[in-house]
Amino acid sequence: MVKSSEIREHMEVLGSDGAHVGTVDHMEGENRIKLTRNDPAAGGKHHYIGLDWVDHVDSHVHLKKPSSEAMKQWQSA
Give CA–CA dist 26/24, Å, rounded: 6
Residues 48, 74: contact at Cβ < 8 Å? yes
**CATH code for the domain of 46:** 2.30.30.240
Nearest to 55 by CA among 6, 34, 36: 6
Nearest to 14 by CA among 49, 46, 38: 49
Query: In this predicted structure, what is the pLDDT of residue 8?
Result: 97
Give CA–CA dist 73/57, Å, rounded: 20
Per the prediction, the chain carries an average pLDDT of 95
**13-36, pLDDT tens digit by residue?**
999 999 999 999 999 999 999 999
Query: In this predicted structure, what is the pLDDT of residue 49?
Result: 96
Domain assignment of residue 11, given as a range: 4-76
pLDDT more than 90, % of the chain:
90
Query: In this predicted structure, what is the pLDDT of residue 77?
Result: 65
Query: In this predicted structure, what is the pLDDT of residue 76?
Result: 85
Give CA–CA dist 47/36, Å, rounded: 7
Q: What is the largest CA-CA distance in the chain?
A: 31
Count of domains forming the chain: 1
Whole-prediction pTM:
0.94
